Structure 1
Amino acid sequence: MAIPIIMPRQGQSVETCILTSLLKSPGDQVKKGEILFEYETDKASFEEEASEDGVFLGAFFEEGDEVPVLKTVCVIGREGEDISQFSQDNKYPTFTDSHESDETVNFEAPKETRQTALSTKNSEHYIRISPRARKKAEIKNVPINELSGTGPNGRILNRDVEQWLQTKKSSSSAKATPKREKIQAQPPSEWATTTTLLSKEDYEIKPLTNIRKIIARAMHQSLQSSAQLTHHLSADARGLLAVRKQAKKENVDLTLNDLICYATVKALKKFPQVNAHLSNEQLRLYKGVHLGIAVDTERGLMVPTVKNADDLNIHGLSSKMHELASACRKGSIDPGLIAPEAASFTISNLGNYGVEMFTPVINLPQVAILGVNTIIYRPRPMDDGSMAIIPHLGLSLTYDHRALDGSEATRFVKEVANEIEALTPSQILG
């Protein structure tokens, strides 16, 4: 019996996943537990195993496709089984099968080109084409019947559309040469001059990764749909550094970031309007602090959430943060913990990189995010009239002005500074 393998739902907010790798081809033998394909959400990657022994009968999507969750990705079963019944799950099925009876149609040619297709494709009414190639052809107005497929069984792939466009571009450039020379006889604009000086040897085209595309969309949407501005303030870091120094002496694993996050959680408990989400013109004030921590990984920036961080002492918070950061870097993080909705407030620390000031972007629907900068030594007048060089920690709070007034935001970031300045070795280490 043929078994459909669906795209799993990794978290309630995940609607689609990127199919990053298909590890089997039609006709391959499959053992239970073998990896059939790899996929990723906006922040984590996963593998899908075969639930039974069998033969890989076909796939409905190509690598790189954005697949809706719960849709059939591929089918395993007995050799020769018909899998066309599963194609109803997908609007544009792209499975391939080694059997002649299944090498029928996947995409109906447009009405205006169907007669041409009939005469050139041995009277076949359908053209085999992948969803990505179909979408590309529609966007670029490429006549599908003019394409030559290089995929399995002559299926048209995205590269075939790209090849057609490249050929067309070269042909058009050759025809347009006389006109172009006439136009260039006129004084060129500054932009035209700059562009003319560039050749293909001067640059390299590097497509954005799927993760980068998703992050880009989220950041662009955040800036477009909210009123963001940033307040900068610094905190006296003498107590912070004293705690860190004593912790190292006692072999206690506490970082500066652990201490800053701990102080921020305490401040958030006093400002519930900052520990909140804004949605549909309503503020959702959270009773617990669900702290998002920005983690730099090879796959891009990830923001896992420490749930109920206010219930943890400094050591528990530190342990949980390190655990989540490790899971992010390994790609094993729970997708539910990296959704923007999971956290009620986020901290992004760039102090290790020497950043003195920056403007972090809010993870909507959160209403604020705290950027932590490097420690800078500055002169400061003392009570006795003398001057001293004091370490200062820079704090950059970006907030949504729709949810918070400037005075509220200022009081909050000042409270974060107060909590940091109140840290002492005896308080933290006992």
Structure 2
Amino acid sequence: MATEIKVPTLGESVTEATVSKWFKEVGDPVAADEPLLELETDKVTLEVNAPAAGTLSEIVVAAGSDVEVGALLGTIAEGAAAARGAKPAAAKAPPPAKAEPAPAPRPQPAPVPAAAEAALAPAVRKLIEESGLNPAAIPATGKDGRLTKGDVLAYLEVRKEAPAAPAPKPAAAPAAPAAKAPAAAPAPAAGGAQFPPRPAGPREERVRMTRLRKRIAENLKASQNTAATLTTYNEADMSAVMALRDQVKDVFEKRHGVRLGFMSFFIKACVTALREFPVVNAAIDGDEIVYKNHYDIGVAVGLQEGLVVPVVRDADALSFAQIEATIASLAKKARDGALSLDELQGGTFTISNAGVYGSLNSMPILNLPQSAVLGMHKIQQRPVVLADGSIVAKPMMYLALSYDHRLIDGRQAVSFLVRVKDCIENPTRIMLDV
């Protein structure tokens, strides 16, 4: 009797996914609850486990195909060898050693020990296999010695830089060293800089967009087409926050086990301002305005694959330490590809920190259905004229609030941002709720 493998429920408002890769081939034995394949949605990547033990007898949907919730992915036959004869029906070539070295052009990653393979998260396993790496050679920093996505990316960076010192390409040149010698060391023209030769390879490469990247593109375009977006700007003197942070950061980290960053100050400042200007925390639903009496703050996290916005739930009820711990946990999950759908949904207001990438100013785009987003930027010493006319250098940060003008008036938006600025410049107000 065959057991069907179907696309599970993917979460609220998610009806479609892409088959990222199969971990098994037709004819392979599988254990109950063993990961069989990986699905990529527009929000997260998740594994589909075997509903029963047996043998993978059929793969109905190949990697790279789009599927809907409930669609048939494959079947599992009873018994360890029940499907050996069914292999030809599958979309993949069988693994046994047939005289088919033709697929050899596709380089395979170094073999992974079974124990290590089982411990790898889906996103980590995918990155390792796509890059052709041996996980045993990568230093692991995760819990219980596990390999994280950050470990793999760091290893790739180091490996990318390492070959740059030795120059293996000239040595591999075919048979025209005489012609290559002058080309390798052209005389710099009139003191101009000499650039390295362009690496060999195609001039262009086409790569299919990931479902996450497509969803990001759709959401941003929908935001521009739907909302009447305006942006108001201000700047905050970061002196008081920086002084307070420097004063307590060591004690804070020792007591709470987490570093004190700037984001907790801004989340607390925004919650204070949102309470005073509830329309900024509201959303439009059809011809109704939905006022949110909870403060679930989205914190944008930039990844190599794209931007994700995990949510800090009930930020008004959290301490500074709890906010910092939550942000650290969500950021780590984001880098490891382990965020759940629930952690990405339901935010009422978003904060995006472009300053970590060096941005001095920008205009953030609304994260619909939210009505406002705050942009933080790089802290930079700038001359400031004080009340007595003197000019001093201060660590200043430009703040940008993009808002939906269909719902929020300019007076409300500007007043909200001024309140955030006041809280940042006088952080005791946040702590004393004044």
TM above 0.5, one fold? yes
Q: In structure 1, what is the Cα distance between the partners aligned to 2:69 and 2:366? A: 27
Relative to 1, partners in 2 of residues 1:284 and 1:425: Cα closer, same or farther, differing over 3 Å? closer
Alignment of 1:305-320 (within 5 A): 305-320=311-326
Residue of 302, 316, 324 corresponding to 2:308: 302
Gaps of at least 5 residues in structure 2 are 92-200, 254-258
Q: Structure 1, residues 63-85: CA drift from partner, whole Å, max 9, x if none?
A: 122211222222112379999xx
Is the contact made by 1:240 and 1:424 (CA closer than 8 Å) also made in structure 2? Answer: no
What residue number does 1:414 align with? 418
Q: In structure 1, what is the Cα distance between the partners aligned to 2:77 and 2:303? A: 38
What is the aligned length?
317
What residue number does 1:321 align with? 327
Gaps of at least 5 residues in structure 1 are 84-95, 104-199
User: AA paired with 1:289?
Assistant: Y
The CA deviation at 1:249 is: 4.1
Relative to 1, partners in 2 of residues 1:344 and 1:251: Cα closer, same or farther, differing over 3 Å? closer
Relative to 1, partners in 2 of residues 1:240 and 1:4: Cα closer, same or farther, differing over 3 Å? same
Q: In structure 2, what is the Cα distance between the partners aligned to 1:426 and 1:214? A: 36
What residue number does 2:242 align with? 241
Alignment of 1:19-58 (within 5 A): 19-58=19-58
Q: Secondary structure at the match of 1:12?
A: coil
Is the contact made by 1:24 and 1:36 (CA closer than 8 Å) also made in structure 2? Answer: yes
What residue number does 1:331 align with? 337
User: AA paired with 1:412?
Assistant: F
Q: Secondary structure at the match of 2:278?
A: coil
The answer to which of 404-413 and 244-253 deviates more is 244-253
Q: Structure 1, residues 158-186: CA drift from partner, whole Å, max 9, x if none?
A: xxxxxxxxxxxxxxxxxxxxxxxxxxxxx
What residue number does 1:186 align with? none
What residue number does 1:372 align with? 376
Q: Secondary structure at the match of 1:36?
A: strand
Q: In structure 2, what is the Cα distance between the partners aligned to 1:41 and 1:234? A: 38
User: AA paired with 1:402?
Assistant: R
Is the contact made by 2:55 and 2:80 (CA closer than 8 Å) also made in structure 1? Answer: no
Q: In structure 1, what is the Cα distance between the partners aligned to 2:81 and 2:230? A: 60
Q: Secondary structure at the match of 2:213?
A: helix
Relative to 1, partners in 2 of residues 1:82 and 1:216: Cα closer, same or farther, differing over 3 Å? farther
The answer to which of 64-73 and 225-234 deviates more is 64-73
Q: Does 1:281 align with 2:282?
A: no
Q: In structure 2, what is the Cα distance between the partners aligned to 1:264 and 1:426? A: 10
Relative to 1, partners in 2 of residues 1:421 and 1:80: Cα closer, same or farther, differing over 3 Å? closer
Relative to 1, partners in 2 of residues 1:426 and 1:266: Cα closer, same or farther, differing over 3 Å? closer
Q: In structure 2, what is the Cα distance between the partners aligned to 1:324 and 1:13? A: 21
The CA deviation at 1:234 is: 0.6
Q: Structure 1, residues 279-329: CA drift from partner, whole Å, max 9, x if none?
A: 213211110101001012233211011111111121111111111111111
Is the contact made by 2:268 and 2:430 (CA closer than 8 Å) also made in structure 1? Answer: no
Q: In structure 1, what is the Cα distance between the partners aligned to 2:77 and 2:63? A: 21
User: Of the two, which has the highest radius of gyration?
Assistant: 1
What residue number does 2:166 align with? none
Q: Percent of counterpart pairs with the same letter? A: 32
Q: In structure 1, what is the Cα distance between the partners aligned to 2:26 and 2:202? A: 40
Q: In structure 1, what is the Cα distance between the partners aligned to 2:248 and 2:65? A: 49
The CA deviation at 1:57 is: 1.9
Residue of 370, 389, 394 corresponding to 2:393: 389
The CA deviation at 1:363 is: 1.0
The CA deviation at 1:251 is: 4.8
Q: Secondary structure at the match of 1:11?
A: coil
The CA deviation at 1:227 is: 1.2
Alignment of 1:135-146 (within 5 A): none
Q: Does 1:15 align with 2:19?
A: no
TM-score (structure 1 length as normaliser): 0.68
Is the contact made by 1:16 and 1:41 (CA closer than 8 Å) also made in structure 2? Answer: yes
User: AA paired with 2:295?
Assistant: V
The CA deviation at 1:378 is: 2.2
Alignment of 1:124-135 (within 5 A): none
Q: In structure 2, what is the Cα distance between the partners aligned to 1:327 and 1:267? A: 29
Q: In structure 2, what is the Cα distance between the partners aligned to 1:375 and 1:80? A: 62
Alignment of 1:92-131 (within 5 A): 97-98=86-87
Q: In structure 2, what is the Cα distance between the partners aligned to 1:206 and 1:5? A: 29
The CA deviation at 1:240 is: 1.3
What residue number does 1:402 align with? 406
Is the contact made by 2:35 and 2:49 (CA closer than 8 Å) also made in structure 1? Answer: yes
Q: Structure 1, residues 226-271: CA drift from partner, whole Å, max 9, x if none?
A: 2112111111211111122113343532111222222112211211
Relative to 1, partners in 2 of residues 1:426 and 1:73: Cα closer, same or farther, differing over 3 Å? closer
The answer to which of 315-324 and 380-389 deviates more is 380-389
Residue of 321, 325, 348 corresponding to 1:344: 348
The CA deviation at 1:274 is: 0.7
